[in-house]
């Protein structure tokens, strides 16, 4: 029986590529989404991947959603915390709501999505927790104090949890994508996009499939000796 993987924000952008890649690698995939029912249905119909709607920034919704996935598909052994939002603004203009919404969805969701699953993973002696951060959580970004703080926190969460679970057969890792060729990046004004690409040593945007390939490797048996790591996938834009 194939292992069950949950991908948050799994029907669009990077998450869509991750869901497709994990299915191709033989996993049973549940793709979470937050709001776009039409896109989620089209994704599910095209790829044969089950979709589940809930807000990852809500603890009760995560517990309920994960219970539904496990009832339908079996124990979740791989979780990819990919869902994220931006609410950009300079700090002196940022509202409390902008701050709290991003911290809740981009950081608190790590706890909300992992806590309901961790006991089962520990009991079975296997788990893969893969958390998607960002280049801007590593280097910071003007106008994104909320987002940069949340994404930096993802790495800290992963390192601490990796130490707690290493002897239980559970790995916990972070992936920090750089600028990836998704619809969100494509919407950036052309001149801004040109300046972004000019700052990437390899001279191009990344592909969602390149992030998905890293996720698939970390989920595999071949990735079992990697835990607490921060995998930087950004074309050399920020080197660590």
Which residues are annotated as catalytic?
147
Q: CB of 8 within 8 A of CB of 109? A: yes
* Host H or E run for residue 27: none
Greatest C-alpha distance within the chain: 53
Q: CB of 153 within 8 A of CB of 138? A: no
Closest of 81, 149, 138 to residue 109, by C-alpha: 81
Closest of 240, 44, 20, 219 to residue 132, by C-alpha: 219
Q: What are phi and psi of 129, to 5 degrees?
A: -115, 115
Task: Give the separation between CA 233 and CA 211, rounded to whole angstroms.
Answer: 7
What Å distances lie between residue 112 and 106, 166, 219, CA to CA?
11, 20, 20
Task: Give the separation between CA 140 and CA 150, rounded to whole angstroms.
Answer: 11
Place of tokens 């040109």: 194
Angle at 87 between CA 86 and CA 89, to 5 degrees: 125
């Amino acid at each position: 029986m194939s292992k069950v993987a949950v991908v948050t924000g799994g029907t669009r952008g990077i998450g869509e590529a991750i869901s497709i890649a994990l299915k191709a690698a033989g996993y049973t995939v549940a793709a979470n989404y937050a709001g776009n029912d039409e896109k989620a249905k089209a994704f599910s119909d095209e790829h044969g991947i089950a979709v589940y709607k809930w807000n990852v920034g809500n603890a009760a919704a995560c517990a309920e959603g994960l219970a539904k996935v496990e009832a339908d598909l079996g124990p979740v052994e791989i979780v990819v915390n990919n869902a994220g939002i931006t609410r950009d603004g300079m700090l002196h203009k940022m509202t409390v709501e902008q701050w709290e919404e991003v911290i809740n969805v981009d950081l608190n969701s790590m706890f909300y999505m992992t806590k309901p699953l961790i006991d089962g993973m520990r009991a079975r002696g296997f788990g893969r927790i893969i958390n998607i951060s960002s280049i801007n959580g590593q280097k910071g970004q003007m106008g994104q104090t909320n987002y940069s703080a949340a994404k930096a926190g993802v790495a800290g969460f992963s390192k601490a949890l990796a130490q707690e679970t290493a002897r239980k057969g559970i790995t916990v890792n972070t992936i920090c994508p750089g600028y990836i060729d998704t619809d969100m990046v494509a919407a950036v004004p052309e001149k801004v996009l040109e300046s972004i690409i000019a700052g990437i040593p390899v001279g191009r945007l990344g592909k969602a499939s390149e992030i998905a390939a890293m996720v698939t490797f970390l989920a595999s048996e071949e990735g079992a000796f990697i835990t607490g790591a921060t995998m930087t996938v950004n074309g050399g834009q920020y080197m660590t």
